Structure 1
Amino acid sequence: MTRKLFHENQYLQNFSSVIVENFEYRGVPAVVLEQTAFYPTSGGQPHDLGTLDDVPVVDVIEDEAGRIIHLLERPIRGQRVHGQIDWKRRFDHTQQHTGQHLLSQVFLRLCDAETTSFHLGADSASIDVNQAELDADTVEFVEALTNQILYENRDVIIHHVAQDELSRFPIRKLPTVEGVIRLVEIKDFDYSPCCGTHCASTGEIGMIKITKVENYKGGSRVYFLCGSRALKDYQQKGRIIQQLSETMSSGEADLPAHLGKLQDELKTLRKERQQLAQQLLEAEARALLPERETIGKMFVLKKRFEQRPPKELRALASMIAEQAPQTVVLFGDSYEGKASLVFARSNDLSIHVGELMKQACATLDGRGGGQPHLAEGGGAAVEKLDEALQSGLNSLKEIKTWE
């Protein structure tokens, strides 16, 4: 079993040790040391990073035998090594982990909400609690009390307790291991079995900010930031608010009202734009009618466009087919490097334009189809777009039902 220096002194950043094993772990160079300050991934807390004799440590795991295995970027030589912990990463994890203990106890006391899991990532941390629909006032109250306890700078005390002595402590959750239990106490406030690294006092957490709460699996997922992460988030949001204030010539407190006004104006403009676009489309539809050619008792409008969005082309074809009797519309378009087709016909004709579309798309090395009165398709062969349109027209000329 490896001696865990990180439990003896969580502030230890440098250490030396004898190499006990030097081998490959699942194809990756690895060593087991007699003692180590590198924390392995466990208890929701990610592993430490750093170096052993200037060789980067890429992962740290603990096996069932209690060996702490250091996975390396490249093999290491020699019998002894000097270890260097990435302290910025370690202290960040320590702040988040101690903050989580504090936050979980406050949720339990104020909301009777037990923490069911803890997630600590590179940029965010969260807990899942077994209570849903946490309103904004409740969350603010939880956040306020959490920071109040933090500001009291309570000691964080480590106890090593035998299994049969646990009943002496008001523990928040039962341990998942047997034997002597490592119990982390936030003085007179929280008692929780934990193997992670923790601050010496709550003041070292800096601050705790709840950033988001969402319903999750019948409970709630609470996202939070502690210490340097909270400061960084506040600085970033401060810059954003300042930029918005300057851009809109508005005080911070007035921003919501001004943004609401802008949203209303935007909705009005979008509605007006849609109305204008519809009017333009109707005018274009009327202007295209003289371009129809006559085939027997039927009119056919065949036309190629460039860079017209398929949705707009479909609307134009449908509009013409709805307004002009005895009419078939054959539209083609080269849009974003692909060929697209839209075929439509008026309701007084029995032609199935979906069948015409399948034949035309075969020319484009593509596919398509649709309903009897409206069909869409396309393919990659843009250079054959005119040929595909002509294919649709030729198919119409072969139909005898309209004569």
Structure 2
Amino acid sequence: MNPWQFETTVTDTRTDARGAWVALETTLFYAEGGGQPPDAGTLAGAPVLDIQRVDDVVWHLVEQELERGALVTGIVNDAVRRDHSIQHTAQHVLTALLEDEYGIQTLSFGIGSEESSLEIETDVFDWNQIESLERDVQRIVFENRPVSTYELSSEEVEHTRLRKATDRTGTIRIVAIDGLDYNACGGTHVEATGQLGIVHVTSMKKVRGNVRLTYVAGLRALTAVHSFRTALRTIHQTLSTTNETVAARVIEERNLRLERDKEVKALEARVAKAKVAAFLQEDNYVITHIGKTEAETLTTTIVERIAATGRIAVGANHTGQKLWLMHDGTHDIAIGKFLKRTLDDLGIGRGGGSHKQAQARFESVIDLERATAEIVKRLQEGMVSC
């Protein structure tokens, strides 16, 4: 028989905005708690969508209502349970080593759909320390230390050994990793540290004056390694690098790009100056510039320079399907309100802005051209009463 399958009776039901919930006489499903997500699986052949414990009653959110007294079969998704158990046990190992080896307390923990995280009580941690921590974790994994779970009365618990003090009374569930950790915990765990496989820290970020470490373990870690390798292989093939030269080559490419960006900006400035000079030969109240192939930065530069001369500038960029309106503040026209009113009348585009400048984005070049023509027409005809 499948060890993750069980038969039980529906003892209570309720509904809320999320759907139908059922309580069972017995259940193998783990309810969300302590940073660990709920189990996944099926009940009466339908997916269990959520599991929550309320006042010591475990409630199961199901797709369709079940009647009280109904005999149902539940099946826990063993792959999800195993994954959550690996991530949770990895947290115990990380927390214990951080406290014992670095004197750093763990403040919070959570298992995400792809990665898990710890917030630790320090404002200083670096990647050399992370690599050292990972080596310590891997040593614990290789030693395959037993992980035990058992229940004791609060009087039997060795409170002085607890990793974190508990104010629970009655029966307390203890999770112990041989020679490393002794803690009160209601989550699910593996039977030995060797089942963690690999524990890999993927990122580090400062939050609220502390540090958040993101990590993966087990198959999640293997998936991450495969992803990193694929990305690295792509870089090798693109830039003709090796593991030893890839960092230097990426930095070199970045520096070259920055130099090219400077050259492009200098060229754009010269092009903008020339185009604006040509526009100013026209005795027009409204000057329109259409950029069909140029970068958005060049279009905005031209629009800004035209507006600085006291004209009303209209700029359209086909590449980004964007439009800009601008003047230097000497006109009474509230550009942002005018643009929004025109777009509302046309029923296309999204945009707005301030008294002096505004911009809009369109779903197609056709819409952009239509809006540009209408805006120029209204400006030239003085239709700006908004």
TM more than 0.5: yes
2:131 is matched with 140
Give the C-alpha shift of residue 145 in structure 1: 0.5
Residue identity opposite 1:16 in structure 2: E
Residue identity opposite 1:388 in structure 2: R
Residue identity opposite 2:325 in structure 1: L
**In 1, are the aligned partners of 2:289 and 2:303 still within 8 Å (CA)?**
no
Number of matched residues? Answer: 361
Give the C-alpha shift of residue 247 in structure 1: 1.4
* Aligned-partner Cα distance in 1 for 2:374–2:290: 14
**In 2, are the aligned partners of 1:364 and 1:384 still within 8 Å (CA)?**
no
Of structures 1 and 2, the larger Rg is shown by 1
* Aligned-partner Cα distance in 1 for 2:340–2:85: 65
1:59 aligns with 2:45: no
**In 1, are the aligned partners of 2:154 and 2:168 still within 8 Å (CA)?**
no
**In 2, are the aligned partners of 1:306 and 1:333 still within 8 Å (CA)?**
yes
**Alignment equivalent of 1:304, drawn from 288, 296, 318:** 288
2:222 is matched with 231
1:348 is matched with none
2:366 is matched with none
1:25 aligns with 2:2: no
Give the C-alpha shift of residue 87 in structure 1: 0.9
1:316 is matched with 302
The TM-score, its normalising length taken from structure 1, stands at 0.80
Q: How does 1:58-137 map to 2 (within 5 A)?
A: 58-64=49-55, 66-76=56-66, 79-137=70-128
What secondary structure is seen at the aligned counterpart in 2 of 1:290? coil
Residue identity opposite 1:204 in structure 2: Q
Q: Deviations over 1:25-72 (max 9, x none)?
A: 3263333222211111122211111112312211112221x2222221
1:275 is matched with 266
1:253 is matched with 244
Residues 338 and 175 from structure 1, CA distance in 2 versus in 1: closer, same or farther, beyond 3 angstroms? same
Residues 247 and 38 from structure 1, CA distance in 2 versus in 1: closer, same or farther, beyond 3 angstroms? same
2:357 is matched with 376
2:346 is matched with none
* Aligned-partner Cα distance in 2 for 1:44–1:360: 48
Q: How does 1:388-403 map to 2 (within 5 A)?
A: 388-391=378-381
Give the C-alpha shift of residue 245 in structure 1: 0.7
Residues 343 and 29 from structure 1, CA distance in 2 versus in 1: closer, same or farther, beyond 3 angstroms? closer
**Alignment equivalent of 2:377, drawn from 375, 383, 387:** 387
2:367 is matched with none
* Aligned-partner Cα distance in 2 for 1:157–1:185: 5
What secondary structure is seen at the aligned counterpart in 2 of 1:185? strand
Residue identity opposite 2:246 in structure 1: L
1:343 aligns with 2:334: no
* Aligned-partner Cα distance in 1 for 2:89–2:278: 72
Over the matched positions of the two proteins, sequence identity in percent amounts to: 25
Aligned-residue CA RMSD in angstroms?
3.1
* Aligned-partner Cα distance in 1 for 2:337–2:190: 71
What secondary structure is seen at the aligned counterpart in 2 of 1:166? coil
* Aligned-partner Cα distance in 2 for 1:94–1:123: 14
Contiguous gaps of at least 5 residues in structure 2: 344-351, 361-369
What secondary structure is seen at the aligned counterpart in 2 of 1:89? helix
* Aligned-partner Cα distance in 2 for 1:93–1:170: 25
**In 1, are the aligned partners of 2:326 and 2:335 still within 8 Å (CA)?**
no
The TM-score, its normalising length taken from structure 2, stands at 0.83
Residue identity opposite 1:306 in structure 2: I
* Aligned-partner Cα distance in 2 for 1:159–1:265: 61
Q: Deviations over 1:240-278 (max 9, x none)?
A: 111111111111221110000001110111111111111
Give the C-alpha shift of residue 209 in structure 1: 0.6
Give the C-alpha shift of residue 302 in structure 1: 4.0
1:191 aligns with 2:182: yes
